[in-house]
Chains A and B, each alone.
Chain A
Amino acid sequence: MDAEALLETAVREAGDRIRAALAMRFRDLDMAEEAFGFAALRAVETWRRDGAPRDPAAWLYAVARRRAFDLGRRAQVRERAQHDPPEPTPDPETILMAAFEPIPDERLRLIFICCHPALSPEARIALTLRTLCGLSVERIARAWLTTEVAMQQRLTRAKGKIRDAAIRFEIPGPDQWPERLDAVLATLEIAYAQAYEDAAGLSDAADLAGETLRLSGLLAQLLPDEPEVLGLAAMIRLAESRRPARLDDLGAMTPLSEQDVDLWDAALIAEAAGLLRRAADLGRSGPYQLMATIHVVHAARRETGATAWADIVTLYDILLAVRPSAVAEVNRAVALAEAQGAEQGLTALAAIDAPARLADWLPYQAARAGLCAKAGRVEEAADALRHALALHPAPAERLFLQRRLAELSAA
């Protein structure tokens, strides 16, 4: 394997872990990023010249740690790190594993560590998505319907507080899990939504689909008495059950209402149903259980051949009362259009009191295009499609939108 390929593998397999180990040790995420970047840059050159190291991950960690020490000495702010005795054999695994026991998965542990309650809820989630899921600031900003600049400021402020107030990056004991759980669930929810956006699974967020599926299942095993944990695990399973039906033969995205139900993953649907039953037995409802239930109504089309849109509208009404969001309002408007007619849906869509950024949110423009076309407002529909196409859709979504636009022009 050549040096570049070796580095790529090491970064993919151990990058998160190394960055987290550095962040924990130096309590400075920016420095961890910078030091890790430096090590990766050095790696190719050195490995080409001297041959590949026995353990590329350990090599990267050792070089990055040395770099972080140098940076810290230069900035004279890392007093704590400088007091630590140098370690003769740095091994990220040992350092990490020594600190971790109660949560049997590395990434999940790191998510719990990052979701620190002394940071604002939004900052916790954004920081975790950035650091552990590798999502770009632009993507995270989009998930909150805010600007990249505003999100960057929030992240910078959070990192500043971690450094200046000396927040500890250590695994919290089980007694501290509840106060971190909401942020952990929201992190998994947003990470999955990013992967779901891309039906073909080609984007940089694509591998988060399988990962959030796995992590949410693990969390459900870990906390089987938390109904919202079960609800999130069910929701992700139900959404993911439709993946085999989300692309047509030409690679274009197929909308839910046009999907071939025989392609849906019956095993995932059954697993989700079991999780939701257990959640219901616990007798405490919440937004994730509600969202999962909406997916259940969609999934029922496999048996009944029809979608109970009126039920979906009602479920969205309850969801909006529990957890208001512009995203849920857009979805409710689409369901309302199916249940009562396109004009009702468009009225609901127009009534959304949302941040200005909603107009630049792709699902909003796609929904508007669909409803306008249904209502016979061809010009407005074409306008919304053009707007959606300008928002950098993933390839499969782009094909779908282009096809709709061509159909409108032909009509």
Chain B
Amino acid sequence: MQYLLLIYSDEALREPALLQEITAAHMRLGAELAEAGAMVGGNRLKTSDTATTIRTVGGAKTLHDGPYAETREQLAGYYLVEAPDLDAAIGWGKKIPGGPNYSIEVRPIWPLS
């Protein structure tokens, strides 16, 4: 069985010492997961102001600047895709099937530097 662990956090957090501590803790957890053979993958996302939402209403798709903000629909799955730019990623996002009403949030991954 695989599980997706989702991280929700305060983007306004800026204090360098704390951020450093959190990053170090992530590294430790990553190592621990790897050692246990439990690590499948994980990424840090860029902040929500880089998000674009593809909203499908009655089958019609429109783009919106910003993250998915409504709570009527629940998180149901994810795709991690390699794409040269946002437009290409949105192109894939539009192909993700669903019912008459659903949303896809497209968010860039924070590259490892």
Q: Which residues of A contact B (CB under 8 A)?
A: 79, 117-120, 123, 157, 160-161, 164-168, 170, 179
In the complex, what's the smallest C-beta–C-beta distance from A135 to chain B, in angstroms?
A: 21
Q: Flag if A119 contacts B108 (CB, 8 Å).
A: no
Residue interface mask B35-55, A partner, CB < 8 A = 1? 000000000001101111000
Q: Flag if B49 contacts A157 (CB, 8 Å).
A: yes
10 additional A-B residue pairs with CB within 8 Å, beyond A160-B49, A165-B52: A117-B62, A118-B86, A119-B65, A120-B65, A161-B50, A164-B46, A165-B108, A166-B84, A168-B85, A170-B87
B90 within 8 A of A: yes
Q: Flag if A165 contacts B63 (CB, 8 Å).
A: no
The contact of A164 among B87, B88, B90, B108, by CB within 8 Å, is B108
Closest to B46 in A: A164
The total number of A-B Cβ pairs within 8 Å is 46
Q: Flag if B90 contacts A118 (CB, 8 Å).
A: yes
Chain B residues, Cβ within 8 Å of A118: 52, 63, 65, 86-87, 90
In the complex, what's the smallest C-beta–C-beta distance from A195 to chain B, in angstroms?
A: 28
Closest to B53 in A: A118
Instruction: Kindly state the separation between the CA atoms of A36 and B97 in the bound complex, as whole angstroms.
Output: 44
Instruction: Kindly state the separation between the CA atoms of A161 and B52 in the bound complex, as whole angstroms.
Output: 10
Chain A residues, Cβ within 8 Å of B64: 120
Q: Flag if A165 contacts B62 (CB, 8 Å).
A: no
Interface of A is mostly: loop
**Given the known A-B contacts A118-B65, A120-B65, are A165 and B50 also in contact in the complex, defined by CB atoms under 8 Å?**
yes
Contact size range, B: 10 to 19
In the complex, what's the smallest C-beta–C-beta distance from A127 to chain B, in angstroms?
A: 12
Closest to B108 in A: A165
B66 within 8 A of A: yes
Q: Flag if B85 contacts A167 (CB, 8 Å).
A: yes
Instruction: Kindly state the separation between the CA atoms of A132 and B110 in the bound complex, as whole angstroms.
Output: 31
Instruction: Kindly state the separation between the CA atoms of A160 and B86 in the bound complex, as whole angstroms.
Output: 13
Instruction: Kindly state the separation between the CA atoms of A138 and B52 in the bound complex, as whole angstroms.
Output: 28
Interface of B is mostly: mixed
Chain A residues, Cβ within 8 Å of B46: 164-165
Q: Flag if B49 contacts A161 (CB, 8 Å).
A: yes
Q: Flag if B86 contacts A117 (CB, 8 Å).
A: no
Q: Flag if A168 contacts B50 (CB, 8 Å).
A: no
**Given the known A-B contacts A118-B90, A160-B49, are A123 and B65 also in contact in the complex, defined by CB atoms under 8 Å?**
yes
Chain A residues, Cβ within 8 Å of B65: 118-120, 123, 161
Chain A residues, Cβ within 8 Å of B88: 168
Chain A residues, Cβ within 8 Å of B108: 164-166
Chain B residues, Cβ within 8 Å of A117: 62-63
Instruction: Kindly state the separation between the CA atoms of A119 and B66 in the bound complex, as whole angstroms.
Output: 8
Q: Flag if B66 contacts A120 (CB, 8 Å).
A: yes
In the complex, what's the smallest C-beta–C-beta distance from B84 to chain A, in angstroms?
A: 8
In the complex, what's the smallest C-beta–C-beta distance from A269 to chain B, in angstroms?
A: 37
Q: Flag if A166 contacts B63 (CB, 8 Å).
A: no
Instruction: Kindly state the separation between the CA atoms of A118 and B62 in the bound complex, as whole angstroms.
Output: 10
A-B contact pairs, 25 of them (CB 8 A): A117-B62, A118-B65, A118-B87, A118-B90, A119-B65, A120-B64, A120-B65, A157-B49, A160-B49, A160-B50, A161-B50, A164-B46, A164-B49, A164-B50, A164-B108, A165-B52, A165-B86, A166-B84, A166-B85, A166-B86, A166-B108, A167-B85, A167-B86, A168-B84, A179-B63
In the complex, what's the smallest C-beta–C-beta distance from A26 to chain B, in angstroms?
A: 13
Closest to B83 in A: A166
Q: Flag if A168 contacts B86 (CB, 8 Å).
A: yes
Closest to B51 in A: A165
Chain B residues, Cβ within 8 Å of A164: 46-47, 49-50, 108
In the complex, what's the smallest C-beta–C-beta distance from A94 to chain B, in angstroms?
A: 22
Closest to A122 in B: B65
Instruction: Kindly state the separation between the CA atoms of A226 and B13 in the bound complex, as whole angstroms.
Output: 47
In the complex, what's the smallest C-beta–C-beta distance from A183 to chain B, in angstroms?
A: 11
Closest to B107 in A: A165
In the complex, what's the smallest C-beta–C-beta distance from A174 to chain B, in angstroms?
A: 15
Chain A residues, Cβ within 8 Å of B49: 157, 160-161, 164
